[in-house]
Each structure stands twice: as C-alpha cells, then as structure tokens.
Structure 1
Amino acid sequence: MRKFGELFAATLLFSVGMYGQAACAQSDFETYREQQQQGAQKLKTEFQAYKEKQDAEFADFLKGRWREFETLHGKPLIKEPEPKQAPVYTPPVPAKPAPLPVVEQPAAPPVLPPAPPQPKLPLAANTLEVMFYGNAVRFPFDPQWREYRVSTGEKPEEMSAFWSMMSGSQYEPTFQAISDARRQLQLDDWGYASLWRSVVQALQPDRRTEQNLLLWFFLVKSGYDVRLGYVGMDVHLFVAVRQQVYSTKFIKVGDQTYYAVLAQDHGDSIRSFYTYEASYPVQLKPLDIRSAAIGFPRPEPGQRALAFEYKGNQVKVNAPYDRRLVEYLDTYPQSDFELYFNTGASSLFRQGLLPELKKYTAAMDEEEAVNFLLAFVQKSFAYKTDEEQFGHEKSFFVEESMYFPYNDCKEHSAVFSWLVRELLGIKVIGLLYPGHLTTAVKLKRVKPEFATVDYQGSQYVIADPTYINASVGMAMPSYAKLKPNRVVDIR
C-alpha cells in the first residue's frame, strides 16, 4: 500500500510537471506569435510609409519641368511591296491521280443550343463588372475615381494633384481583383494592360482624358513603364515595349523607346506633346509581347470549311476557331515575325484541325507529308496583300488566318510552320526576302535538286507556302538566286 502511495505521488508530481511544461510552452508560443504579429505589423507600417514617400516624391517631380517631344513614325514590318498575286507553278500532268488514304469526310459539328445564362449575383456597393472577351470580371473601386474631372489649370500641377489623390485612395482591393482575374484568364502583359483599359472605360465612360489618367496610374503602380503626356486638354499614353513595334508612332526619352500602342489610331494623330523628364522612384519594366495569350477559358466557336486539291484528289477539312481569341489578337501591337511564328493556337482550333490533317499525314513519309501541308496552305487560303484587304500593313496570328478571308505570305508562312512543327515535329525557319516571307524545313533526306539555305551549320530545304503548286525544294523564281535578308529562328 505504501509503495502504491509513493507511486501515485510520483505520477502526480510528473503529471503536474508535464502540465507546467506544456503551459509554459503554450505561453512561450503565444509570446512568440505576438512578437511575430507585431513584427509583421511593423514591416507593413514601414512599407506603407515607404510607398507614401515614393508617391509624394513622384508627385513633386511631376510639378517640375515638362519637355515637348516630337513623335516619330514607326516603320512597317515589310518595307518592300509584296507580290500583288501569288505565283503559280504549273507541274507536269500526272498519268493518273495518286490515291490518298481513305478518310471519312468530316461532318460539320452539330449546332448546340446556347448554354442557359447563369444567374447574376447583385453587385455590391462601389463594385463594377466588365465583360472581357466573354469573361465577367468584377472589381471594387473608390468612388472618387468616378467623380474626378480634369480641370483647365496648369497640366503639371494637375497631374501632380491627380497622382496624390490616386495614391491616397483605396486602390489595393482593385489591384487584387484585377490580379486574380489575370491569373484566372491566363493573360499576358498585353492582356493585363487591356483589362485595365476595360476597367477605366467602365469607371469613366466616354471621357478619354480621365480614362488615360487612370490607366497611367494603374499601369505604373503595376510596375510598367508608361509615359504620360499632354497637348492642350488632351492626355496621351506612350508605353515602353520590350520588343520592336511596327506601324506605330513612338518617342525616345533617353535610351528608352515608348510606343502609342494604347491609342486606337496608333498615335497617327499625335505630332508632339509634353511629358515629364523625371522617372518613377521604382524601376519600371516594359510590356513583354514575345507571344500572345491563347487560353481564354470561355471560347466562342467559329467554323471554317477548307478544301484543296492534292495529286488529283479533293480534300476537305473543317477548321473550328475561337472568335473571342481572334477579337483579342486583332488588338495586339504589330511586332516582329517571331511573335506570329511562336504564338500557338487555341485548344479549340488544335483539337479540331490537327486530327483531321493527321488522318492523311500519318501514312505519308516525311517529304510527302510536307508537300501535303504545303498544298493545304497554298490552296485553302486565298491570297491578297494587306494593302488590298485592309489599306495598311497587318500581320495575323495562326488563329486569325481562319477568320479573315484572305492571307498573304506572312500568314501562309506562320500557318505552315505551325502545322509542320505540330504534326511532323520538323524544325522550320523563316526566310525574309525583299517583299516576301517564306519558310525552309530541315528534312532528313535532301535531294540534289532541292533549293536549300544553310543556317547555323544545318541545311534547310525551301518550302514556300505561297508559291501555288510548288513542292518542297522549289523556290519562287524571282527569289531563287537571292540570299535572304534575314532568317527568323522559330521555336
């Protein structure tokens, strides 16, 4: 009994000790957590003070000297005029048509009834909704943003006061909502800037000057290098872009080039304007348009029936595409060939067209498969120069080629190179000649009669998707003896 009592006492003392240790540990944890929270709050307070100091400095800079800058004309992507008509090669008449694999002709997809509209939740106070290429985006806003009006006073003072007003407003929740939308919609830099443009249009309908001021603030606060300027009562935005932009006016401030890509007329109506010489206290970055977003989550299907003749056989395929993506890509700044060659297509387009063509190319050797795709592009897409179709130079992405009725050599080359890479896995390069863009492919077997070019130690065979009826290895006669001005390396 005595031993039991001693054991019980020892157990009790151990339990009390353990409880005391646990209580002490809990107390230490609570103290640690409180210290961490205090530290985080201190950092937040310090960061807020740092941002306020930056904004105050920038507002003061804006009161300083503004200098007049002359706008410069952007050069076109292709300087020399393109051929008015696509040349046609007349091949020898074959004894009889070569048979193609027996393939079921594609049936037009059934027309599905539109999905019933989703019930809309009521908007909360000080909340707006914009439709961005079929996708609803909601965001909160500070009421003073809608009430702001530009005065007729001195512009440097006006811009400084505007920046002070905006930087002191409740803008963080709006930035969070737009950042969330960017992630959900898989937007690139241009898409992000375009979404902000939709936001400012909703905040200040039909007020271009106020819209540009708001867009300037939102993009600079997002970390992008945007230059604001004025002439009279008009306010303009010029944006730094990492890549070359064509057919768009620009200015040079120091070593940085700024383009009028946010102006509907590409800046054509702007001769000069005043802009500040100071820089924002934080390092800003240019827009990056190396490739365009193609993954919009709510596509609007379009359909194009394509037909062409190959070795005496009629081939028909259906090519679905995303109308909303085409609408978005149509707003993209005109940039270098790499942008159009290296941007893919929507899943709607890929899953619709590629399997149809694969039914034919799967049974062909490499050379014949390339010839089949050449015939598809040469004969399915009618040729017309940009000047004839639009009145100005324009380049298409692959998806856009399905929508517009005519294509030229740039679009033929982009579509053909995309198909060759996707279906055959063959390396392709672009070849720029005066007034003409074509392609060359890296074949496993190069015949002696093939027209070729050497690039980075490899031999590429000319494959011209604009030279109608020409097969791989045949160069357009007017360019056969010329060396390309430039080689476009396609990823």
Structure 2
Amino acid sequence: MKHRVITSILIAVAGTASAVAQSPGGSFAEFRKGLLEDYNAYRKGVMERYDQFLDGVWSDFQQFKGEESSTVPKPDRVPRVGDFPESKPEPVLLPDPTPATPAAPVATVPQPEVTPQQPAPQQPASQPARIPEGNFDFKFYDLPVTIPAIDINITDRLSSPRDFASQWRNLNKNDDTKLLIDEIEKLAASMSLNDYLKYELVSAYVDSRFPSVHSTSRMALKHYLLVGMGYDVRVGMSGNTAVLLIPFRQTVYARTYMKVNGNKYYIFTDKSVNPQSIINMRISTCELPQNANTGSAMDLKIKGLNLPYKPHRYDLKFKDLTLSGEVNANIFPILYRYPQMPTADFARSTVLADVREDIVKQLKAQLQGKEELEAVNSLLQFVQGAFEYATDEALHGFEKPYFLEEILYYPKCDCEDRAIFYTYLLWNVLGVENQLINYPGHESASVKLSQPIKGDAYHHGGNTYYISDPTYIGSVTGMCMPSYVREKPGIDYTYGK
C-alpha cells in the first residue's frame, strides 16, 4: 500500500510538483515527506482504533441484487450483411455526452488451467494456529510464490463482534503483522498486481496458511491485512458466516452489494460459501465514523502484469492480413473470473504491453501505404473474419468480457470483445480517432474520417463519426445494422486527440 498510495498521490500532483519545489521554504523532498507522514498517520490511526469500531455498534444494511450490464440478450448467431431486408438508410440518432479520452497511441473453450484451492475441512483445535520460521510457499492461481514465514497467531473461530475486536487487538500488538503486510505488498509489486488482485493474493495466502481454521477467523485476518494495506474494506457477519465488503471505483455487475452511508460495498465470501446464498443473508457490519479516513476504494483497471512466462501461440489470418505471436498463458486463469466492470474499463486496461506493441508493429507494416478508408476497412474486415462468434453464455456459461489480450486465447468471442480489440487497433495502428459505442444488446464502433463518405453516421462534439461494426460480417465503414439505425448509441470510450 505504501507504494500504491504514495505513487498515486505523486502522479496526481506531478503537475504542481515544480511549483511546490520553487515556493519559499518548500522542496519536493519535504512535500514527499509530508505524503509519507500522512500515510503513516492513516495507518496508525485506523489500525489502532479499529478494534473500538469492531467492539461498538453493528448494524444491518440493505442488500441489493447485482446490477446487469445489459438487460437485452446478445444475438446467438453472428449478424451478416444480407440477413436484413434492404431499407433506405436513416440518420443515426445523436449519442450521449462524451466520456473520458485516452492518451495518444503508443470448438471447446480452452479454460485456463488452474486448480481450485478449497480450504481444508474446518477442524477444532486446542491451540491457535502459528506460523513457523523460514519461508512460506503457496500458490497464487497455480503460480508458486514465496514470502517469509511471519510468526502470527489467529483464533480458531470467531462468533461475536467482541471476538473480532479481540483478534484485531492481538494482531495489532504483534509487530510481525506489520512486517507481513509489507512482505505481501512487495510480492504484489513484483507481479504488478492491481488493487483487486492484491485482495486475491491476500486470500490465497490466508487460505493456504490457515486451511483448518474456521472461515470467520480467516476472513477477519484478510480484513486486517487489507485495511493495513490502505483499503476501505469492511467485515460483516451473517449468522456464523463472515463476509468482506469491498468498495470499488467502478460499478461491478452481477455481484450483490450493500449500501453503507450511500456507498456501494460488494459482498465477497469464503470459497466454502455458496455464492447463491448471499442474496438471502442478513448481514451486519460495524459502524465507522463518517468523517474518519477509512481508506480507499479498489481500482479494477489493470496497468500491466508481470508473471512467470508460459507461452501460448496465436495465429490469426483473414484475407491479406495476418497476426502471429505468443502471449503469456499465465494471465488467463487470473482473468477468467475477473469482476465484470464497465466496457470502458476493459478498454482502458493494459494486461501485457509487449504483446500489444508487437500486434501494432505487425499490422502497421502490413497496412503501410494504404489510403485511410481502405486501411480502416481492411482492419475492420480482418476483425470480422479472423474470429468465430459466440455469446459469453454459450461459450463460458456466464457473462465474460475479455481484456484485449484474451481474444488471442479463446476460440470465439462476442461483439464487445471485437469492438474493444478493433477500436484499440484503429487508434494505435492507424491513428484514426474512434468511439467504442453501445446499443441495447450490442457493442460496436465508429470512426472519425479525414474525408466525408456516404453512409450511416452521427454527429458528436462537432465531428462526424461513421459506424464501423466489427461484428456485422461483410459490412464496411458507414454501414449500421438495420435493427440499430434508429437507436441512439451510447459512447463508452473515445480514442482521440
């Protein structure tokens, strides 16, 4: 957390750093020292007082069923030009306001191979679990990882708020617990894990280290570690079941949540708990002062992963365009059940920068010298033809949006996967400004061309964007699926200057 919090703050104030350094009596070193002191004050204040909150009032909060990213089902069959009766094109309605803009360009489903790690059956123990000296080896999505074995104690089972408060105090008295937090942070940093994957790492460590301890005690330890890392994670109870309540910067679809003081906290359970039972739980959590600095929400965006390398070969071809190379297969188990966030955040994320750079380099070389519209349509029809179509439900059994890198692994993909891939290539290969857009039950794209053409388009922000749909097989830029011609597209993401 020390690295995460300080880095994010430093980035946020980078534009004012020189002014701070030039101010009378001020320096960047002093400014950075202040950030460190603020972080240490947060950690000391929250960690030392949290047992009082756990020992205080616990209240029930209303639960809400997970939101759906779309209530309109995607087509089971890929749409093709000629599937629809001919009709005279009509103007596409104006879209919603512009979203954030990115920086300038720079068969059988092969399910990721991962062995589920279930905690061992809970067994009563006469003594608290202890960690021996030496190193502790465990698995993170089947990847072997190691941290020093830290000597901490946790209670065998927690059954009341007083028990949670007592365990918190015991952990807080042990300086080695702070060392454990720092070691987990170092391990996470070595793999470039984001906030959510740090939660997964903490869970893997705790579940592996204390497999026979009751889930209430394990969840309480996870809560302690995550709060110590600077996150506003809460612990809740429903009967004999403990849960973690985690806030995110993004909306998370298809996951039950609670509202605490107007903020969404998504419910995470131990792996031994049936996820379907969450909606029927009556969950209570301790009340925290509304003006207290209780930590930050987690960010689901990914900004690169650094994992041991396991090659997976990909080869794509359609007409005169080809793509081939390798991608690190160790990313796929980690991403397979990743929380569903808005499409724009999948587009904003970068999992493997080197793979993207190689793709861009290959396609730039093949499209070099072509006129803008010809290059756009070549890229469009490559994405249309290089991949087979299937809905997530048909292929995976659940809604599974892909990060860009995942389209290189799975044999089939749907409209949003193609649109994310295509819009990235338009901007980074061709430098063509474009928008990732949505219709009810469908994700598409549009492009801003340097010269006007005839076709389906809409005006936005003083610019004309032509529909360029990577899932409408056989179409070219300027052709909108007839069923969406009268629909107003929503803008998810804009690539542009």
5+ long unaligned stretches in structure 2: 1-32, 84-130
Is 1:87 the counterpart of 2:79? The answer is yes
- 1:11-410 matches, within 5 Å, as 55=47, 57-89=49-81, 125-132=133-140, 134=143, 136-145=145-154, 148-151=155-158, 153=159, 155-169=160-174, 170-205=176-211, 207=213, 208-260=215-267, 267-270=275-278, 271=280, 272-279=282-289, 282-289=293-300, 291-309=301-319, 315-410=321-416
SS in 1 for 2:242: strand
Q: Residue 91 of structure 2 corresponds to which residue in structure 1?
A: none
Matches of 2:354 and 2:274 in 1, distance apart?
Answer: 31
Q: Residue 442 of structure 1 corresponds to which residue in structure 2?
A: 448
Q: Does the CA contact (< 8 Å) of 1:320 and 1:352 recur in 2?
A: no
Matches of 2:229 and 2:58 in 1, distance apart?
Answer: 23
Matches of 1:421 and 1:239 in 2, distance apart?
Answer: 35
Using CA pairs under 8 Å that are at least 6 residues apart, name the structure with larger relative contact order, 1 or 2.
Answer: 2
For 2:330, the aligned partner's letter is R
**Root-mean-square deviation over aligned CA pairs:** 2.9
- Give identity over the alignment, percent: 27
For 1:138, the aligned partner's letter is I
SS in 2 for 1:471: coil
Q: Residue 419 of structure 1 corresponds to which residue in structure 2?
A: 425
How far the C-alpha of 1:90 sits from its partner, in A, is 5.1
Change (3 A) 1:341 1:246: same
Change (3 A) 1:279 1:79: same
How far the C-alpha of 1:463 sits from its partner, in A, is 0.7
Matches of 1:262 and 1:458 in 2, distance apart?
Answer: 47
SS in 2 for 1:171: helix
Q: TM-score, normalised by structure 2?
A: 0.75
Q: Does the CA contact (< 8 Å) of 2:242 and 2:269 recur in 1?
A: no
Matches of 1:184 and 1:482 in 2, distance apart?
Answer: 46
Change (3 A) 1:51 1:477: closer
Q: Residue 436 of structure 2 corresponds to which residue in structure 1?
A: 430
Matches of 2:407 and 2:156 in 1, distance apart?
Answer: 43
How far the C-alpha of 1:168 sits from its partner, in A, is 1.1
How far the C-alpha of 1:217 sits from its partner, in A, is 0.4
How far the C-alpha of 1:489 sits from its partner, in A, is 3.1
Change (3 A) 1:423 1:135: farther
Q: Does the CA contact (< 8 Å) of 1:338 and 1:489 recur in 2?
A: no
Query: What count of residue pairs does the alignment treat as equivalent?
Result: 406
Q: Does the CA contact (< 8 Å) of 1:238 and 1:261 recur in 2?
A: yes
How far the C-alpha of 1:253 sits from its partner, in A, is 0.8
For 2:153, the aligned partner's letter is Q
For 1:65, the aligned partner's letter is V
Q: Does the CA contact (< 8 Å) of 2:43 and 2:228 recur in 1?
A: no
Q: TM-score, normalised by structure 1?
A: 0.76
How far the C-alpha of 1:332 sits from its partner, in A, is 2.3
Change (3 A) 1:394 1:328: same
Matches of 2:451 and 2:241 in 1, distance apart?
Answer: 61
Q: Residue 461 of structure 1 corresponds to which residue in structure 2?
A: 466
Q: Residue 452 of structure 1 corresponds to which residue in structure 2?
A: 457
Q: Residue 487 of structure 2 corresponds to which residue in structure 1?
A: 482
SS in 2 for 1:412: helix
How far the C-alpha of 1:227 sits from its partner, in A, is 1.5
SS in 1 for 2:436: strand
Matches of 1:489 and 1:352 in 2, distance apart?
Answer: 23
Matches of 1:214 and 1:221 in 2, distance apart?
Answer: 10
Q: Does the CA contact (< 8 Å) of 2:57 and 2:286 recur in 1?
A: yes
Q: Does the CA contact (< 8 Å) of 1:308 and 1:376 recur in 2?
A: yes
Q: Does the CA contact (< 8 Å) of 1:246 and 1:335 recur in 2?
A: yes
Matches of 2:46 and 2:244 in 1, distance apart?
Answer: 21
Matches of 2:397 and 2:59 in 1, distance apart?
Answer: 35
How far the C-alpha of 1:406 sits from its partner, in A, is 1.6
5+ long unaligned stretches in structure 1: 1-39, 92-122
Q: Residue 117 of structure 1 corresponds to which residue in structure 2?
A: none
Q: Residue 470 of structure 1 corresponds to which residue in structure 2?
A: 475
